[in-house]
Each structure stands twice: as structure tokens, then as C-alpha cells.
């Protein structure tokens, strides 16, 4: 396990890099950078957010990298660019923390299926493999239990994770990884587990703005970077209200909240 | 055809709303070629897009209607069944202006052999249940190849629309100044990167680029075929000047004089309730429809302001898409200092979005409660309508509260 990448945490701004939002960012993935930035700012910690489009050089000295979800074609293109650049690989070697969402998680693994179902080589930063399975696409609320991260500062309990998933692959964690959580409602990795953690790289099928609904996951990633002493409590009452509502929605399998026949007739 | 008319009437009789879907469904079972038959002896125009298709359909119907009888499905039943139902009750030779769902363009174009096709824009919308926008662009391209219309009117500032329209024999290109480009960063021709520089765009890897422009739209004028028409129209905002430009270009291509068409557009003050200013429990409200990031990009520009409270309503029913993650693709920070009140079934998702945008906000359980909060706000001005911006099913609820479709 690596130590905190920040040599002097009080000295400079926390640097967050959003990778390739032009290719991977279909479902509001940009929200994760907003969540992390605000949670630092509200605690009086300076933050520098850098957006790197495909083709641009990737700085390898930032603290935290975000890789979003995306469609099949752009997913392959992003893999090619990241492999060529090697910037993310170098950053991980230096101990940077990475959050990879959905397609982002798939391409960071050893192998993933492309649009035609052909298995392609991934970036190997997450010890997992994603395969195409013969089942309907997993689309709906995802709720987990037993979520935790182990950082140099100890084990951090994340509480229930809540989000939306929309993917077709099945992800098999390898021996050098742990899962992020256990599935209570939804599909997740496909084997009852959800997400993959290898060292400082975290992958999840909670898609899009996953951190918006999961402030403890956001804070765990930040704590990895700035240490536990900087993590003063915040007013999360708006978020708690949303989480409570979504827990109920997932457990009641309320995929279609109060959907009426008139809705269906109007737009079918 | 008579069967379709009877079913449509029966459907209305048993109070299935306007009867526009049930009547069509049964009709299709009776004769799958009904749409082709219903359009065999009339001029047809098709309007499709992610955003603006209902408004543009209404504007084009109005523009043409100054000269000839026009039938249209502008109430939003925009797949084959709804279209058949709308046509079944019209005279066989009335000109048809058809709003068509993005996914149904191929099938409707094949059946109707429409002479005129208006393609406004393509962007992310309801991704949990619809297709990738790139696949839609490919479908449009295939449709225009299989059934070439006489004229396509297309958005030259949307690379996905441009890709689709390029195969048509004649295209009138509109410089829409579209600012939402997040869904078109990859070249549809070669997967290279599209660079947007000033008003131009081009692919970095191949020769795909912005076509030469036929129609321009700016803050004050719409310029078409060497003639300039002064905006404003009755409908607000740049986006509606663009919609009007599409309607005028199409009306002109279909043989109506542009000036007569332009004059007719002044009479359109709302479209199926969109932009309606109405009294709600003694206070003026204005209804706005905003149901995806590109739509919100335009809606935020139209807001009454700069400090008038704003009500935002989001549902996540099947017609809205179950996943409101897209709220994070909307730059709600642009509301500035306004108080924003979150309502709708997904009001807590909105509240979290606003919290992280450092936006002053409050959650209310209903439009009534939200309006009470508005009236108590120090920035409430009873002479300025309060904007209520809603996504699809929330908009329908609010429209019904102020009298429904007129």
C-alpha cells in the first residue's frame, strides 16, 4: 500500500484531474469533480481542478484522477489514448488516487469487451477483467452494503452506497484486488460484489455522478490525499434526504416512481 | 382510412386524452400501410430533433397555414401510431407537417416519402432507455439515403446532424450558433476529434467540416435567401429564433412566400403550453419545458431575472428517463443569485445538485408550496412572471394546473 502522495499537504492545492470528459462523461460524470472540489473548499482546503481532453498530455503529478463512463466507441478510443500517454500509469506509480466509473473501470482492468463483443486489452491498472454475458443490460438503482476502503490511514466504512447502473459487462475481480462493496439491490459486478479496488485505484458501476449520492466515498478518496485530520464534518442534510429516499426506492424496486398509464400513452 | 377515423373518434369518446395514440395503435393493426396511404396524395414535411421539434412543427404549420390547409400532430404524439391518428381525420390533400420522434424518422420517411425534412439537433436525452446519439445520426443518414427527400433543412452547427444530412441531394444549411457540442466531440466520419474554433468546426483527422451556410440567425435578424427578417418573434430566446429560421426555410422550400410566412409566426405565443404565462393562485407564472442538458442550456438563457426566484421541477418517470444523472451536465450555476425552489419527484436530486453548485435553494413538496415560498421571498416582484422550468411529465402536471393545452 502506498502512502499519501502529497509531500506537504498544507503547502499546495489538491490537484484533481478529470480525464477525457470529451470521450468519457456521458452521464453527468463531471459531477464527481464538482463534489470533490466543493468538499475541499468547504473545509478551507485549496483545490486545483484540471480537465484533460483526449490527445492532450496527462500530468502525472496530480493527487486524484477521475475517469468517467462512456459509450462503446469512445471507450476504446480512450483506452488507446491512455495507453499511448502512460501519464495515468506514472501517476498511479507515484501513489495518486483514481476513481474510475463504469466504462472507466472496465478499461482500467486487464481486458474488456468492445462494441462487437471482442475482448480488448485494458490498461491493467485495476486487477479485474470484464466479459460480455448473455443477459439483459443492467439498468436501474444499485444499492450496496459492507462498503469500505482501506487506506494508509486505516479502514474507512463507507455506509450503504447508492446510485444508478447502466452496463452490459460482468466484471471479475482478480487476486490482487478487493471488491468495493456487496450488492444489496441491483447487478454490480455480476457475482454479488460491486466495484474493484487495486491499491489506490477504485472502480465502480455506480455510474455518472456517483459521489453526489455518496459523500463518505468522496471523503474517503479525499482523506487518502489530505489525511484524516483535515476532514472536518460538513452539513450533508440535503444529501441525507436524497440517500434515504433512494434507499427506499431501491429496496421497493421502484424503477418507475409513480408511473401511470397516462405517461405511457403520452409518450409511447 | 375510414376505420382509422372511426377508431380515433371512439378513442376520444372514451376520454383517452386527445385520442392521438389509442386510435393510431388499432389503426396500425388494421393496415400497416395506412401511413403510406394517408400521405399518398399530400405534401409532407417531417420535423425531428432532440429539442425543439414540437415548437418548430407548430411554427411551420402556422407559416404554411396562411396559404393552405395544414394538418399536424404538434401535440407530441410523434411516433407512427400518433401520426396516423392525426392524419386520419384530415382531408386527403391537406399538407402534413409531422413531428417525428428521433428513432422513427426512417420508418416515417419510408412510409410518407416526405419531400421536406427538417433536422434540428441531436444530443443526450434519456440515456437509460434511448440510444446513443451517434447511432441516431447513423440511422438518419441511412433513412435519407434510402428515401431521399427533395429538400433537407439542417443544423450546420451540429456535426451529428450535418453527418446525417450530407447524403441528401439538396440541403439548406442553417447557422444555428448551437453552443451545446458535448455530444459531438468525436467525428462521426472517422472517430477523430472535432475542433470548434469560433463559429467554425472541423475534424482534426479527416475533411469533415462545417458546410457553407445558407441561413443565419443572430440577436436581431434571421437572414434567408438574401432577405433579412427582424426578430423578435412572440416566442422568447435565441433558440426560438433558430426554430423560426427552420420553419421559414422549410416554408420557402415548400413554395410559401417568406414574408407571409414570417408574419404568421407572430401569432404563435405558446406551443402546447410551453412559454405560457398564466395566473396560478393569484401570481403570474411562466411555464418552461427543459428536459435534458441541451434544453436547459437554452432555458437558462431565457430566465426572468436577474434575481426573480426560480422553480425547477424534475420527475423521473418512463417518459422522463429513470436516471436524472444528467442534472450534473447542466450549468445550474448560471442562475446566479436567484433563490431556486426544487420540486417534483426527484426534488432531492435537484437539492444536492444545487448544494454543490453553492446555489441558494429550498425543497418544496408541490407547486403550491413553492409559490408560497416565492411570495415570501424578498426578491419577489408580482409584475414579473415566476419561471417554472420542468421536465416532461412535471411540465404536463403544471400545464394541467393552468388549464391544459389550449
Number of domains in chain A: 1
The pLDDT tens digits of the residues spanning A225-264 come to: 999 999 999 999 999 999 999 999 999 876 543 444 554 4
- pLDDT at res. B190: 87
Is A263 close to B124, i.e. CB distance below 8 A?
no
Query: To the nearest whole angstrom, how far is the Cα of A25 from the nearest Cα of chain B?
Result: 9
The pLDDT tens digits of the residues spanning A6-44 come to: 544 455 899 999 999 988 988 899 999 999 999 999 999
- pLDDT at res. A8: 45
- pLDDT at res. A265: 54
Q: What percent of chain B has pLDDT over 70?
A: 90
For A166, the closest of B128, B328, B348 (CB atoms) is: B128
Residue B119 phi, psi (nearest 5): -120, 110
Return the sign of the alpha-carbon dihedral for residues B327, B328, B333, B339.
positive
- As given in the structure block, the three cell numbers for residue B340 are 431556486
DSSP B210: P
> Is there a domain that residue A4 lies in?
no
Residue B124: its chain A contacts at CB < 8 A?
A: 26
Is A34 close to B356, i.e. CB distance below 8 A?
yes
- pLDDT at res. B377: 94
Using an 8 Å CB-CB cutoff, list residues of chain B that contact chain A: 16-17, 21-22, 76-77, 79, 124, 127-129, 132, 134, 182, 185-186, 191, 193, 315-319, 322-323, 325-329, 345, 348-349, 351-358, 363, 392-393, 396
Residue A22: its chain B contacts at CB < 8 A?
A: 182, 185-186, 193
Average pLDDT across chain B, whole number: 89
> Is there a domain that residue A5 lies in?
no
- pLDDT at res. A257: 39
Rounded Cα–Cα distance for residues A103 and A29 (Å): 11
> Is there a domain that residue A135 lies in?
yes
Query: To the nearest whole angstrom, how far is the Cα of B273 from the nearest Cα of chain A?
Result: 15
Q: What percent of chain B has pLDDT over 90?
A: 69
Comparing A254-268, B253-267, B281-295, the range with the smallest average pLDDT is A254-268
Is B17 close to A265, i.e. CB distance below 8 A?
yes
- pLDDT at res. A116: 87
Is A34 close to B134, i.e. CB distance below 8 A?
no
DSSP result, A69-128? ---HHHHHHHHHHHHHH-HHHHHHHTT-EEEEETHHHHHHSSEEE-TTS-EEE--SSSSE
- Chain B's closest residue to A20, CA to CA, is B185
Rounded Cα–Cα distance for residues A123 and A191 (Å): 23
The pLDDT tens digits of the residues spanning B179-206 come to: 888 888 888 998 888 999 999 999 999 9
Provide the pairing of β-strand B44-48 with B95-99. parallel
> Which CATH number fits the domain that encloses residue A62?
3.40.50.880
The pLDDT tens digits of the residues spanning B114-133 come to: 999 999 999 988 766 666 78
The pLDDT tens digits of the residues spanning B17-76 come to: 454 555 555 655 554 588 999 999 999 999 999 999 999 999 999 999 988 999 999 777
Is A38 close to B358, i.e. CB distance below 8 A?
yes
Comparing A205-214, B76-85, B312-321, the range with the smallest average pLDDT is B76-85
The residue among B217, B127, B139, B205 whose CA lies nearest residue B172 is B217
Rounded Cα–Cα distance for residues A232 and A40 (Å): 10
How confident is residue B168, by pLDDT bands cut at 50, 70 and 90? very high
First to last CA, chain A: 52
Q: What does the pLDDT average to over A105-111? A: 97
> Is there a domain that residue A170 lies in?
yes
- Other C-beta atoms lying within 10 Å of the C-beta of residue B282: 8
- pLDDT at res. A93: 97
Rounded Cα–Cα distance for residues A132 and A113 (Å): 6
**Which domain range does residue A212 map to?**
14-267
Q: Is A233 exposed, middle or buried (0-12, 13-18, 19+ CB in 10 A)?
A: exposed
Rounded Cα–Cα distance for residues B287 and B399 (Å): 8
- Chain A's closest residue to B397, CA to CA, is A263
Q: What does the pLDDT average to over A86-97? A: 98
What are the residues whose beta carbons fall under 8 Å from the beta carbon of B402, sequence distance 6 or more? B273, B276, B278, B279, B280, B285, B287
Residue A25: its chain B contacts at CB < 8 A?
A: 182
Task: Give bridge partners of residue A49 from the DSSP assignment.
Answer: A16
Is B319 close to A263, i.e. CB distance below 8 A?
yes
Largest CA distance in chain B: 60
> Is there a domain that residue A249 lies in?
yes
Res. B368: pLDDT tops 70: yes
> Is there a domain that residue A3 lies in?
no
The pLDDT tens digits of the residues spanning B390-402 come to: 999 999 999 999 9
Query: To the nearest whole angstrom, how far is the Cα of A78 from the nearest Cα of chain B?
Result: 11
Return the sign of the alpha-carbon dihedral for residues A174, A16, A14, A94.
positive
For B356, the closest of A207, A212, A264 (CB atoms) is: A212
For B128, the closest of A22, A139, A241 (CB atoms) is: A139
Query: To the nearest whole angstrom, how far is the Cα of B284 from the nearest Cα of chain A?
Result: 27
The pLDDT tens digits of the residues spanning B218-243 come to: 888 899 878 888 866 889 989 999 99
For A242, the closest of B348, B357, B358 (CB atoms) is: B348
- pLDDT at res. B332: 97
Residue A20's region, left for phi above 0, alpha for psi from -120 to 50, else beta, is left
Rounded Cα–Cα distance for residues B213 and A26 (Å): 30
- pLDDT at res. A256: 42
> Is there a domain that residue A95 lies in?
yes
> Is there a domain that residue A184 lies in?
yes
Provide the pairing of β-strand B361-363 with A138-145. unpaired
DSSP B271: B
Q: What does the pLDDT average to over B170-174? A: 98
Is B318 close to A256, i.e. CB distance below 8 A?
yes
Residue B393: its chain A contacts at CB < 8 A?
A: 263
Secondary structure element (H or E) that encloses residue B241, with its range: helix B238-253
Amino acid at each position: 500500500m502506498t502512502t499519501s502522495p502529497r509531500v506537504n499537504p498544507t503547502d499546495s492545492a489538491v490537484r484533481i484531474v478529470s480525464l477525457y470528459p470529451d470521450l468519457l462523461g456521458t452521464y453527468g460524470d463531471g459531477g464527481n469533480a464538482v463534489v470533490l472540489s466543493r468538499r475541499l473548499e468547504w473545509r478551507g482546503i485549496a483545490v486545483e481542478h484540471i480537465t484533460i481532453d483526449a490527445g492532450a498530455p496527462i500530468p502525472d503529478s496530480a493527487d486524484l484522477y477521475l475517469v468517467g463512463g462512456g459509450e462503446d466507441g469512445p471507450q476504446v478510443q480512450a483506452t488507446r489514448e491512455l495507453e499511448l500517454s502512460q501519464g495515468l500509469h506514472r501517476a498511479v506509480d507515484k501513489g495518486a488516487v483514481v476513481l474510475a466509473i463504469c466504462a472507466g473501470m472496465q478499461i482500467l482492468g486487464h481486458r474488456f469487451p468492445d462494441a462487437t463483443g471482442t475482448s480488448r486489452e485494458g490498461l491493467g491498472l485495476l486487477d479485474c477483467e470484464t466479459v460480455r454475458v448473455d443477459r439483459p443490460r443492467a439498468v436501474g438503482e444499485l444499492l450496496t452494503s459492507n462498503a469500505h476502503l482501506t487506506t494508509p490511514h486505516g479502514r474507512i466504512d463507507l455506509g450503504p452506497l447508492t446510485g444508478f447502473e447502466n452496463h452490459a459487462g460482468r466484471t471479475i475481480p482478480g487476486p490482487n484486488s478487493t471488491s468495493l462493496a456487496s450488492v444489496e439491490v441491483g447487478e454490480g459486478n455480476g457475482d454479488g460484489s460491486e466495484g474493484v479496488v487495486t491499491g489506490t485505484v477504485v472502480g465502480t458501476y455506480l455510474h455518472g455522478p456517483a459521489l453526489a449520492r455518496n459523500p463518505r466515498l468522496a471523503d474517503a478518496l479525499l482523506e487518502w490525499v489530505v489525511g484524516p485530520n483535515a476532514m472536518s464534518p460538513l452539513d450533508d442534510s440535503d444529501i441525507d434526504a436524497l440517500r434515504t429516499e433512494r434507499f427506499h426506492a431501491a429496496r421497493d424496486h421502484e424503477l418507475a416512481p409513480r408511473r401511470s398509464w397516462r405517461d405511457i400513452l403520452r409518450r409511447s | 382510412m375510414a376505420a382509422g377515423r372511426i377508431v380515433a373518434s371512439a378513442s376520444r369518446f372514451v376520454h383517452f386524452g386527445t385520442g392521438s395514440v389509442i386510435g393510431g395503435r388499432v389503426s396500425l393493426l388494421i393496415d400497416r400501410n395506412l401511413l403510406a396511404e394517408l400521405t399518398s396524395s399530400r405534401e409532407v414535411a417531417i420535423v425531428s430533433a432532440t429539442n425543439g421539434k414540437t415548437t418548430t412543427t407548430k411554427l411551420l404549420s402556422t407559416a404554411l397555414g396562411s396559404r393552405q390547409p395544414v394538418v399536424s400532430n404538434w401535440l407530441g404524439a410523434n411516433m407512427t401510431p400518433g401520426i396516423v391518428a392525426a392524419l386520419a381525420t384530415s382531408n386527403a390533400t391537406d399538407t402534413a407537417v409531422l413531428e417525428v420522434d428521433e428513432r422513427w424518422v426512417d420508418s416515417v420517411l419510408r412510409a410518407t416519402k416526405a419531400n421536406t425534412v427538417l433536422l434540428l439537433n441531436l444530443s443526450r436525452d434519456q440515456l437509460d432507455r434511448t440510444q446513443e446519439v451517434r447511432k441516431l445520426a447513423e440511422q438518419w443518414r441511412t433513412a435519407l439515403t434510402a428515401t431521399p427527400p427533395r429538400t433537407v433543412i439542417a443544423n450546420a452547427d451540429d456535426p451529428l446532424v450535418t453527418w446525417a444530412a450530407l447524403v441528401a441531394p439538396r440541403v439548406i444549411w442553417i447557422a444555428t450558433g448551437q453552443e451545446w457540442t458535448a455530444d459531438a466531440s468525436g467525428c462521426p466520419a472517422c472517430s477523430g476529434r472535432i475542433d470548434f474554433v469560433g463559429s467554425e468546426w472541423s475534424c482534426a483527422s479527416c475533411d469533415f467540416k462545417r458546410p457553407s451556410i445558407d441561413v443565419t440567425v443572430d440577436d436581431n435578424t434571421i437572414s434567408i435567401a438574401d432577405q433579412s427578417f427582424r426578430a423578435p418573434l412572440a416566442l422568447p430566446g435565441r433558440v426560438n429564433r433558430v426554430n423560426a429560421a427552420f420553419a421559414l426555410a422549410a416554408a420557402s422550400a415548400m413554395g410559401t412566400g417568406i414574408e407571409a410566412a414570417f408574419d404568421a409566426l407572430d401569432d404563435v405565443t405558446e406551443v402546447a403550453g410551453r412559454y405560457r404565462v398564466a395566473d396560478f393562485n393569484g401570481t403570474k407564472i411562466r411555464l418552461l419545458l427543459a428536459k435534458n442538458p441541451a434544453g436547459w442550456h437554452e432555458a437558462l438563457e431565457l430566465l426572468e431575472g436577474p434575481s426573480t426566484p426560480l422553480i425547477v421541477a424534475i420527475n423521473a418517470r418512463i417518459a422522463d428517463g429513470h436516471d436524472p444523472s444528467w442534472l450534473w451536465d447542466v450549468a445550474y450555476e448560471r442562475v446566479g443569485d436567484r433563490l431556486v425552489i426544487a420540486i417534483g419527484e426527484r426534488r432531492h436530486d435537484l437539492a444536492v445538485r444545487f448544494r454543490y453548485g453553492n446555489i441558494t435553494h429550498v425543497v418544496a413538496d408541490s407547486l403550491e408550496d413553492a409559490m408560497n415560498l416565492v411570495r415570501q421571498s424578498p426578491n419577489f416582484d408580482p409584475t414579473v412572471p415566476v419561471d417554472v422550468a420542468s421536465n416532461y411529465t412535471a411540465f404536463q402536471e403544471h400545464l394541467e394546473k393552468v388549464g391544459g393545452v389550449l
